Copies of this chain bind each other. A is one copy, B any other.
């Protein structure tokens, strides 16, 4: 693996300062749909790119966490001359939207202010990284759904979502129904997998929260080195 890092990306602290300078801080309750025209940076809380099916079911395609930029795609597509109507079937304007999964503190950046700064640092590097990160997430979702078993997919999601520091808390918005929607699994399958993970001591409840007690064993399942029976 080549480790040639070309861009010195700004720290979280510098990003926060930069975005607060070009945008304005807002508070948004849980479950709100965000305006499609602006770009956002997360100070606190979680947001998901969400679709609602004809039956009214919600599917979260991609999750965003503190320190991440989101909803930059429409601005970037416009700046690069990518049409969102021809051959794309109005994908981003009609069927997908950004919805808060928790109460959030965000920086709202107006599209014009974003476009003005997108080809200079630090935004250029931050944007390149965000695009690459989103592309990786989107491809991982597709690849996982055709290559990996249900327990592997659930464990990968948990490993990617848990708090990095001990106790490794799973975000509360990741209910069984939410995970089932995101991974296109049945809710019952997710419930059985959680049951098996708790029985093996890999997950544990602590009050209303769920913690990963054994990150090593979770990663073994995620990496397909161990099989989880459920």
Interface residues of A (CB under 8 A from B): 1-7, 9, 37, 49, 51, 53-54, 59, 61-62, 73-74, 76-82, 84-85, 87-89, 91-93, 95-96, 111-112, 115, 118-119, 124-125, 127-129, 131-136, 138-143, 145-147, 156, 159-160, 184, 222-223
Q: Which partner residue on chain B sits nearest A142 by CB separation?
A: B61
Contact of A91 among B84, B91, B143 (CB under 8 A): B143
Contact of A6 among B2, B79, B95, B138 (CB under 8 A): B79
Can you sample 9 A-B contacts with CB below 8 Å? A3-B78, A5-B79, A61-B139, A81-B129, A87-B159, A89-B140, A91-B136, A135-B135, A135-B138
Contact B51 A81 (CB under 8 A): no
11 other A-B residue contacts (CB within 8 Å) besides A88-B136, A141-B142: A4-B112, A5-B80, A6-B115, A59-B146, A79-B128, A80-B128, A80-B132, A82-B136, A88-B140, A91-B143, A96-B139
Q: Which partner residue on chain B sits nearest A135 by CB separation?
A: B135
Interface centre among A49, A88, A92 (most CB of B within 10 A): A88
Contact B135 A131 (CB under 8 A): yes
Contact B79 A136 (CB under 8 A): no
Q: Which residues of B contact A140 (CB under 8 A)?
A: 88-89, 91
Contact A96 B129 (CB under 8 A): no
Contact A147 B77 (CB under 8 A): no
Q: Nearest Cβ in chain B — how far from A114, in angstroms?
A: 10
C-alpha gap A213/B55 in the complex (Å): 34
Contact B146 A142 (CB under 8 A): no
Contact A6 B118 (CB under 8 A): yes
Contact A111 B147 (CB under 8 A): no
Q: Which partner residue on chain B sits nearest A156 by CB separation?
A: B89
Given contacts A4-B79, A146-B51, A146-B53, whether A131 and B128 have CB atoms under 8 Å apart is yes
Contact B91 A139 (CB under 8 A): yes
Q: Which partner residue on chain B sits nearest A133 by CB separation?
A: B82
Contact B136 A95 (CB under 8 A): no
C-alpha gap A118/B1 in the complex (Å): 19
Q: Which residues of B contact A1 (CB under 8 A)?
A: 78, 84-85, 93
